[in-house]
């Protein structure tokens, strides 16, 4: 994966940005402006944003321009997602967002070092490229995608590493949701520290 010169985070490869409703995890139902950055080398087979993987397909955009568009949206909350957004230094972007009064939510696999400041970190660990150690104590929310029953073990392995206040979610992999949901429901009933996260934006057909 070729990463362009991004001048220490002054430029970021922007795939898309849009104002919508957060569909999954703890902040489900909240209005939020999404900033999707390109570049991810994790390679999940079921990834629904494969077009984001190659950062060179997404021209670098000034973080100032990203923030101007966020302000114009009228949103007060930002979701920084990808791709893997921690592929880039996010300090400049986050500081400027905070200076403009936004609350910032991060969606990450945790496979790159943390940069930036966030009000909420959603850690979604992937077996193909597990999280680095430093993200676990920072995670506000652990969201594990369940594709097969063996993924419950992966969920518990990660649960042992997050802080005790971290919210715990199991989310069905979208293409297998009808097959795997009964097992998730049964698991959560037996292990009520976990909750179910559904990709509600897909059910109501919004981005």
Binding footprint of ligand SF4 on the chain (CB under 6 A): 40, 42-44, 47, 49, 52, 82-84, 109, 126
Minimum distance of ligand SF4 from residue 112's CB (angstroms)? 10
Chain CA centroid to CA 63, Å:
19
Considering the complex, state which of residue 58 and residue 126 has its C-beta at the smaller distance from ligand SF4.
126
Considering the complex, state which of residue 44 and residue 78 has its C-beta at the smaller distance from ligand SF4.
44
Considering the complex, state which of residue 13 and residue 189 has its C-beta at the smaller distance from ligand SF4.
13
Minimum distance of ligand SF4 from residue 172's CB (angstroms)? 14
Straight-line distance from the first to the last Cα atom of the chain, in angstroms, rounded to the nearest whole number: 26
Considering the complex, state which of residue 62 and residue 199 has its C-beta at the smaller distance from ligand SF4.
199
Quick one: residue 156, left, alpha or beta (phi over 0 = left, psi -120 to 50 = alpha)? alpha
| Contact assessment for residue 109 and residue 126, using Cβ atoms and an 8 Å cutoff | yes
Residues in the chain: 207
Minimum distance of ligand SF4 from residue 46's CB (angstroms)? 7
Q: Report DSSP state, residue 63.
A: H
Considering the complex, state which of residue 95 and residue 161 has its C-beta at the smaller distance from ligand SF4.
161
Minimum distance of ligand SF4 from residue 24's CB (angstroms)? 12
Minimum distance of ligand SF4 from residue 56's CB (angstroms)? 16
Sign of the torsion formed by the C-alpha atoms of 70, 74, 78 and 83: negative
- The DSSP H or E segment spanning 10 is none
Whole-number Cα distances in Å, 83 to 14, 22, 114, 162 = 10, 17, 15, 23
């Amino acid at each position: 994966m070729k990463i362009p010169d991004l001048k220490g985070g002054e430029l970021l490869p922007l795939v898309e940005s849009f104002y919508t409703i957060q569909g999954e995890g703890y902040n489900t139902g909240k209005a939020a402006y999404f900033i999707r950055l390109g570049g991810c080398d994790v390679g999940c087979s079921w990834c629904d944003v494969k077009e984001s993987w190659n950062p060179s397909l997404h021209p670098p955009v000034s973080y100032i321009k990203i923030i101007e568009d966020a302000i114009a949206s009228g949103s007060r909350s930002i979701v920084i997602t990808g791709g893997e957004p921690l592929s880039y230094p996010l300090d400049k972007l986050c500081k400027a967002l905070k200076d403009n009064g936004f609350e910032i939510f991060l969606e990450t696999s945790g496979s790159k070092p943390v940069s930036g400041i966030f009000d909420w970190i959603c850690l979604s660990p992937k077996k193909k490229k597990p999280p680095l150690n430093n993200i676990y104590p920072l995670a506000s929310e652990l969201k594990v995608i369940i594709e097969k029953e063996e993924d419950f073990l992966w969920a518990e392995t990660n649960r042992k590493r997050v802080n005790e206040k971290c919210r715990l979610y199991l989310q069905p992999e979208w293409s297998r949701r009808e097959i795997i949901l009964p097992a998730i429901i049964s698991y959560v009933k037996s292990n009520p520290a976990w909750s179910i996260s559904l990709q509600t934006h897909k059910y109501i057909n919004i981005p």
